[in-house]
Amino acid sequence: MRRSRAPRVALAACLGSFLLVVFYFQSSLNPAAEDRVIRTTWQGKAGRSPLQALYESDQFEQSSLQAVHQQRRELLSNICNRYTRKRRLLRPDDLRHLVVDDTHGLLYCYVPKVACTNWKRVMMVLTGQGKYQDPLEIPANEAHVSSNLRTLSEYSIPEINHRLRSYLKFIFVREPFERLVSAYRNKFTRSYNTAFHKRYGTKIIRRHRQEPSDKALERGDDVRFEEFVYYLLDPRTQREEPFNEHWERVHSLCHPCIVHYDVVGKYETLVEDANYILQLVGADTTVKFPSSSKTTRTTDDMTAQFFQDISPFYQRRLFNLYKMDYLLFNYSIPSYLRIR
Ligand SMILES: *[C@@H]1O[C@H](CO)[C@@H](O)[C@H](O)[C@H]1NC(C)=O
């Protein structure tokens, strides 16, 4: 008796979780759906979760910051409706960039090259139950050790659905080409990044440089930006494997048309947007978002210089590759491009 029941129970559980995933997509199409106010395990100072603090606002009401974030959400949802026809189902593996904070009820989708080290540090402080006080006491490499933070892909499907419905989901984005140049500079122009040189640099040089030297083929440490662009546009690249996360589009890393982000933060207004989130969490007095003083930061002018060497033909193709990120997050076509 017991033996024959087990498979049936398992089957029922599977079907149930499948339906839950479907249910999530339908209910989440309406941002005001009542399931948004489901209580999380966490209660803030005012007895509210961050998600409730955002949507049942009184203290934040009428603030210009709140209006900005509402506009960003609306724009994102309009572009999604206009450009994405097929609604595909999420698989747990699609959620491996969503970092979970069960203590406060937060989901953060990390995008490399958009202050992601500092956000991971802050998430470690928030989830650390007193282990850390100051994000900057956490070494950068430790923030990237995967066992230090949990991602949504590690949970069961019912647990995933519960968190997608009742946690505050946020993401940080950046001007797509500035992010791309930042990734290129960091991974290909710094002598210490030998792993990237070996893994990607040697292949890029082999395929996209005419008459490469033996040394360049062996080391892969002098990839030019132009060659990197050819690599990104080569159909073989994505056929063989997904883009590395440092240059993968936010659209593909964080699925913003399926996961409905409550707050879209921007690198351009990083500290302001980070404080807004910490305020919703009720942690703005206990956690300080690290303000970067990096002088090597990739700027718009620097990005423009890198694109000078790229022909209009390749500029256009590269823009098309990153077009969804431009549209979804309201970035305009860079004025330095010669694609009109
Ligand atoms: C989009 O960007 C433009 C200019 O950068 C700005 O004026 C506008 O308010 C933004 N729209 C939204 C919905 O954020």
What was the pLDDT predicted at 108? 98
| The two three-digit tokens of residue 50, written as one number | 């961050």
C-alpha span between 235 and 61 (Å, rounded): 48
Q: Which atom of ligand 1 is nearest to the CA of 330?
A: 1
Q: Are 265 and 170 in contact (CB under 8 A)?
A: yes
Return the SS3 of 190.
Answer: coil
C-alpha span between 255 and 249 (Å, rounded): 10
More confident position, 25 or 331: 331
Determine the average pLDDT of the residues in 233-253.
Answer: 97
| The two three-digit tokens of residue 273, written as one number | 């947007």
Cα 68 to averaged position of ligand 1 atoms, centre (Å) = 9
β-bridge pairing 106-109 and 98-101: antiparallel
What was the pLDDT predicted at 18? 46
Tens digit of each residue's pLDDT (9 = 90 or more) over 195-213: 999 999 999 999 999 999 9
Tens digit of each residue's pLDDT (9 = 90 or more) over 321-330: 999 999 999 9
Cα 64 to averaged position of ligand 1 atoms, centre (Å) = 14
C-alpha span between 60 and 292 (Å, rounded): 27
Place 43 in a pLDDT band, splitting at 50, 70 and 90.
low
| Residue length of the chain | 340
DSSP type of residue 331? P
C-alpha span between 214 and 220 (Å, rounded): 10
Cα 332 to averaged position of ligand 1 atoms, centre (Å) = 9
Give the residue whose CA is nearest to atom 8 of ligand 1. 330
Give the residue whose CA is nearest to atom 2 of ligand 1. 330
Name the one residue in this structure whose structure tokens are 């029941």.
5
Tens digit of each residue's pLDDT (9 = 90 or more) over 66-87: 899 999 999 999 999 999 877 7
What was the pLDDT predicted at 63? 82
More confident position, 62 or 262: 262
Return the SS3 of 169.
Answer: strand
Give the residue whose CA is nearest to atom 3 of ligand 1. 330
What was the pLDDT predicted at 85? 76
* Furthest CA-CA distance within the chain: 73
Cα 264 to averaged position of ligand 1 atoms, centre (Å) = 13
Tens digit of each residue's pLDDT (9 = 90 or more) over 12-40: 555 444 444 444 444 443 343 334 334 44
Give the residue whose CA is nearest to atom 13 of ligand 1. 71
85-114 in b/e burial notation, b at 16+ Cβ within 10 A?
eeeeebeeebbbbbbbbbebbbbbbbbbbb
What percent of the chain lies above the pLDDT cut of 90?
Answer: 69
Q: Which residues line ligand 1 (CB under 6 A)?
A: 71-72, 75, 330, 332
What does pLDDT average to over the chain?
86
Q: What is the pTM of this model?
A: 0.85
Cα 330 to averaged position of ligand 1 atoms, centre (Å) = 6
What was the pLDDT predicted at 39? 42
Give the residue whose CA is nearest to atom 10 of ligand 1. 330
C-alpha span between 97 and 108 (Å, rounded): 8
Phi, psi of 258 (to 5 degrees): -110, -45
C-alpha span between 236 and 61 (Å, rounded): 50
- Probe residue for ligand 1, chosen from 76, 273, 330, 332 as the CB with the greatest number of ligand atoms within 8 Å: 330
Domain ranges of the chain: 24-174+251-281, 177-246+296-327
Return the SS3 of 108.
Answer: strand
Cα 336 to averaged position of ligand 1 atoms, centre (Å) = 19
What was the pLDDT predicted at 111? 97
Measured between alpha carbons, how far apart are the two ends of the chain, in Å? 72
Cα 75 to averaged position of ligand 1 atoms, centre (Å) = 9
Give the residue among 316, 303, 324 at the shortest CA–CA distance from 182: 303
Tens digit of each residue's pLDDT (9 = 90 or more) over 133-163: 899 999 988 899 888 999 999 999 999 999 9
* Other beta carbons less than 10 A from residue 309's beta carbon: 11
What was the pLDDT predicted at 29? 37
Cα 70 to averaged position of ligand 1 atoms, centre (Å) = 12
CA angle 70, 74, 77 (to 5 degrees): 140
Cα 251 to averaged position of ligand 1 atoms, centre (Å) = 19
Tens digit of each residue's pLDDT (9 = 90 or more) over 90-129: 888 899 999 999 999 999 999 999 999 999 999 999 999 8
Q: Which atom of ligand 1 is nearest to the CA of 71?
A: 13
Give the residue whose CA is nearest to atom 6 of ligand 1. 330
Q: Which atom of ligand 1 is nearest to the CA of 332?
A: 5
61: pLDDT strictly greater than 80: no
Determine the average pLDDT of the residues in 241-246.
Answer: 96
What was the pLDDT predicted at 28? 41
